[in-house]
Structure 1
């Protein structure tokens, strides 16, 4: 697939914040109750980092939306492209993720990021950035909450509570399995929060984390380990 990047990759805070400020108005959050887009192929994205330096591996795994079987897997190896600055973390991995996405021969209908959408200090997390760059529906399903406050959801699978930041609902804490810790769901682009919540549950039939994250996480770790072994 082709990914159009309408900006240079920034080297510092001011440039990165300017990119976010320019792209943030392009994010589209659909109203709850809006019909979800038809989904045939769902892509999960994740990145693994080396422990001792700035090398990383990005993986994209495309799943059949009905069976969750793997349709295609791609990866790319690179280096963290930006310093670690809270609120700007996505810039560390975006260039390598874009390289991986461009290696896809299939066209996914949805991107699922192991990270945040609008539940972000600047309302422009990784899922927003990738959604805008590709103009694909995108959601973030994160392991931890980044901003805001939430009440613990009730114990059964499917329970959720809103995540509020500054009086604004920016996401949901969603219990994908009974009695396990919730995941944190937010809209990235062209999706409603209701639809994103339903998808988080649909993609997590057996485990806390969605299959999109489980498969892409495994692949990114395997690719990075192989790369580091070759370079040793």
Structure 2
């Protein structure tokens, strides 16, 4: 199960906003939104917190077995925060530390859940797409809030969802993971379709709003 995580691309991170936007547009052409997954035995959640008045980026990765969501491994990487928060450019602030945390793993996950957006992004290149393209791993964006798009009301039943639409394009799903609880925003990151992404999110969600992957990563990223 142990294997080396190799990045298929690399690029500078200290870019101006206009340079970062241009790079997003370029790399978005590499995003694959159809199912190209091997059998999924391990799933990982990634999330980021900040320390010392946001001067340190703390990235957490938690790897679970897919069949029973039991714990396998976790890593944390801390790096100086490389840029301020700019809407739509989150990955340039968070990805360097996440990649460092992923590189520490002894088990390369078969599927990554990101706390953030996939193609549900103005340039169809959210953090889940960025990580997926750079690592060539299948990835899903699991956002707690909407970045872009519109949608109809979501039925209250667990598992119900409605399309998230932007410019007449379906860019994700607004998914009710718990009855009576606010929905989450699911979108493909890389090497996965929307319907399959929804299936995996629901399979990894137990009695909480968030899937166990990103829920555990969030706890690890925000703990001291």
What displacement does 1:36 show?
Answer: 5.8
Partner of 2:25: 21
Could you list the per-position Cα deviations for residues 24-79 of structure 1 after superposition, in whole angstroms to 9, with x for gaps in the alignment? 1100011xxx6864100101000012372322210000000001011110110113
Tell me the distance in 1 between the aligned counterparts of 2:82 and 2:124.
21
Name the counterpart of 2:61: 60
TM-score (norm 1): 0.90
- Consecutive unaligned residues of structure 1, counting only runs of 5 or more, are 226-232
Would the aligned equivalents of 1:128 and 1:138 in 2 still touch at CA under 8 Å? yes
TM-score, length of structure 2 as denominator length: 0.94
- Quote how far apart the aligned CAs of 1:23 are: 1.0
Contact in 2 for aligned 1:12/1:82 (Cα 8 Å): no
Question: Cα offset for 1:6?
Answer: 2.2
Once the two structures are overlaid, the 10-residue window that deviates more, 151-160 or 8-17, is 8-17
Q: Which of 5, 8, 20 is the aligned partner of 2:12?
A: 8
Give the conservation status (yes or no) of the 8 Å contact 2:9–2:133.
no
Structure 1 contact 3–101 (Cα < 8 Å) conserved: no
- Name the CA distance, whole Å, in 2 between partners of 1:37 and 1:198: 15
More off after superposition, 128-137 vs 81-90: 81-90
Cα separation, 2, equivalents of 1:107 and 1:169 = 30
Instruction: Give the direction of change, closer, same or farther, for the CA distance of 1:105–1:74 in structure 2 (3 Å limit).
Output: same
1:81/1:4 Cα in 2 relative to 1: closer, same or farther (>3 Å)? Answer: farther
Determine if contact 1:109/1:136 at 8 Å carries over to the other structure. yes
| Alpha-carbon distance between aligned partners in 1 of 2:55 and 2:168, rounded to the nearest angstrom | 37
- Report the aligned-residue RMSD: 1.5
Contact 2:8–2:133 (CA under 8 A) maintained in structure 1: no
Aligned length: 220
* Separation in structure 1 between the aligned mates of residue 213 and residue 122 of structure 2, nearest angstrom: 25
Summarize the alignment of residues 164-203 of structure 1 with structure 2, pairs less than 5 Å apart.
Answer: 164-203=165-204
Measured after TM superposition, the shift of residue 172 of structure 1 is 0.4
1:125-144 counterparts in 2 under 5 A? 125-144=126-145
Unaligned runs of 5+ in 2: none
Asked whether the 8 Å contact 1:36–1:195 carries over to 2, the reply is no
